[in-house]
Chain A
Amino acid sequence: MSRARVLDTCDEAVAGIEDGSVVLVGGFGFAGMPFDLLDALIRQGATDLTVVSNNAGNGEVGLAGLLKAGRVRKVVCSFPRQADSYVFDELYRSGRVDLEVVPQGNLAERMRAAGAGIGAFFCPTAVGTPLAEGKETRTIDGREHVLEYPIRGDYALISAHRADPMGNLVYRRTARNFGPVMATAAATTVVQVNEVVALGELDPEAVVTPSIYVDRIVPVQARHYTVQGAR
């Protein structure tokens, strides 16, 4: 039984996330960040989390808020250091959060592999760099490749533009980013959307994430934030 449920509140949507879970968090900076689900996760209280996301939070909202609340044991991301990533920077420098830096293409592809049933894949990214140290390599067609394994989530928390009641999703502009890939890679995918439309209102040709990948949907108020900071 994997039919998606449309829920009334973000608190219901994040119920059951246990301590120690691996949580895939969508977004590239603020675009596509599931702010409301992250706020609910802070209230929910799960801790000792491993968070997989492109960045390690901006300002003190969204993912940075979860970090500031002390709920994250490890961050797996491609680009933690930004002008306004001071919450993460302080936690990392004081040894209170672990960091695994993953090249952005590997981050996406490792989650894609998890969602697609790929056991591992070889790729030339990072050959000869510190990020390939200790990893198995193979020369394929005369070029060295590094073996990379899937990244699976217990939960994915993502943001989309519209859903229908079945859980089909469309996104908006570059806020799509990691959402479609994370939706496939988690045991339970939770989506905050700006709008739930009636069944049949989404053009089937334009659906980006088909309903089979989606478990929980919650409509949220559109949030007005600037590119410098949320709200």
Chain B
Amino acid sequence: MSTSAHTTSTEHTAGATGTEKTAATAVRAAPGAVAHLDRGPLTMDELAAVIARDIPDGSYVNLGIGLPTTIADHLSADSGVVLHTENGMLNMGPAAVGDAIDPDLTNAGKVPVTELPGAAYFHHADSFAMMRGGHLDVCVLGAFQVSTAGDLANWHTGGPDDIPAVGGAMDLAIGAKDVYVMTKLFTRTGAPKLVPSCTYPLTGVRCVSRVYTDHATFEITPNGALVQESWGSTAADLAARLDGGIAPG
């Protein structure tokens, strides 16, 4: 699923020759990184399409509650992707409308959905055995923060008035073969969400393989986060804006 250009070696990559911090906190360009400078950052809908494009045909996939759910709208019918919903179904179909709404058939976000031919229902312990047993190919989760080492924080801000609610996030984070994160790269106040080390309570440790954001996509490697593709900025620009990033010379 990764392109062959996605290296995990420590060799210098194009344009990344600046003052180095520890490699684990690095943000830098991957070899062959593509920067789209003729436009601004992606909309969330465009980002959903990018992720859909990268999900290998035929994968068994869980899309997290919220933004990741919109990826389904961009999966082509002939992709053969089978959607898993944690509340007990494989080959989930699109959202239900009108007479197709059945209160007994919802997705993990409690939104009414439909079933596709070949669907299967199962109970919760089986549903989570699919995750925890390593049977799911890909899950896509939202994030409060992701570290350049692949730690994920997406369930609890730790704030005194915040009611913690984890759902299936921790099981997905450790269970799926590939964990993608879908998020804006910066908060409303401009703080990076891709960070050297998460300050929010963790969902999983070193579990994320890719981070998809409006500004860029990142592959998480033993040497940090490598920019694969960016929109509206170069990898160097982004590294400079991200905490702990290397400003390439």
B85 partner residues in chain A, CB cutoff 8 A: 174
Once A108-B125, A176-B123 are accepted as A-B contacts, the answer to whether A28 and B171 lie under 8 Å apart by CB is no
A41 to chain B, nearest CB (A): 21
Q: How far is the CB of B175 from chain A (nearest CB, A)?
A: 8
Query: Are B104's CB and A175's CB within 8 A?
Result: yes
User: Are A124 and B174 in contact (CB-based, < 8 A)?
Assistant: yes
| Chain A residues within CB distance 8 Å of chain B | 28-32, 54, 78-82, 89, 92-93, 99, 101-109, 111-112, 123-131, 171-181, 208, 225-227
Check A31–B106 contact: CB distance below 8 A: yes
Q: Are A177 and B124 in contact (CB under 8 A)?
A: yes
- Across-interface contacts of B1 in A (CB, < 8 A): none
A62 CA to B86 CA, complexed, in Å: 22
CB of B153 to closest CB in A, whole Å: 9
Of chain B, the residue at the smallest CB distance from A26 is B124
User: Do A79 and B104 form a contact, CB below 8 Å, given A104-B128, A128-B204?
Assistant: no
Does B161 contact A93, Cβ atoms closer than 8 Å?
A: yes
Output the nearest chain A residue to B174 by Cβ-Cβ distance: A124
Taking a contact as CB atoms under 8 Å apart, the answer to whether A128 and B106 are in contact is no
* B201 contacts A130, C-beta separation under 8 Å: yes
Chain A nearest CB from B83 CB (Å) reads: 13
The segment out of B67-75, B109-117, B219-227 that lies at the interface is B109-117
For residue A78, which residue of chain B has the nearest CB? Answer: B167
Give, as a whole number of angstroms, the nearest-CB distance from A71 to chain B: 20
Whole-angstrom distance between the alpha carbons of A126 and B85 in the complex? 20
Q: Which of A31, A101, A175, A178 contacts B165 (CB 8 A)?
A: A101
- Taking CB atoms, residues of chain B closer than 8 Å to A178 are 123-124
Contacts of A227 in B (CB 8 A): 101, 103, 106, 110-112
Contact A174 B174 (CB under 8 A): no
* 16 residue pairs bridging A and B, Cβ less than 8 Å apart: A28-B124, A31-B87, A78-B167, A78-B168, A80-B163, A99-B163, A108-B123, A109-B128, A111-B125, A125-B171, A127-B204, A128-B151, A129-B201, A173-B115, A174-B105, A225-B103
B interface bracket (residues with beta carbon within 8 Å of A): 35 or more
Q: Are A126 and B110 in touch, CB under 8 angstroms? A: no
Instruction: Check if B88 sits within 8 Å of A174, measured CB to CB.
Output: yes
Q: Are A92 and B163 in contact (CB under 8 A)?
A: yes
- Taking the closest CB of chain B, its distance from the CB of A157, in whole angstroms, is 16
B124 and A108 contacting across the interface, CB-CB below 8 Å: yes
Q: Cβ of B204: which chain A residues have Cβ within 8 Å of it?
A: 127-129
B170 close to chain A: CB less than 8 A: yes
A176 adjacent to B121 (CB under 8 Å): yes
In Å, the complex CA distance between A172 and B86 comes to 16
Per CB-CB distance, the 6 closest pairs between chain A and chain B, nearest first, are A105-B128, A105-B171, A128-B205, A29-B110, A108-B124, A175-B104
Type the 1/0 row for B203-240, where 1 means its CB is closer than 8 Å to any CB of A: 11100000000000000000000000000000000000
Instruction: Give Cα distance in the complex from A111 to B123, angstroms.
Output: 12
**In contact, B201 and A173 (Cβ under 8 angstroms):** no
> In angstroms, how far is the closest chain A Cβ from the Cβ of B33?
30
Please, which residues of chain A bring their CB within 8 A of the CB of B101? 226-227
Complex CA–CA separation, A127 to B164 (angstroms): 17
Bound-state CA distance A93–B102 (Å) is 34
CB contact between B170 and one of A81, A93, A131 (< 8 Å): that residue? A131
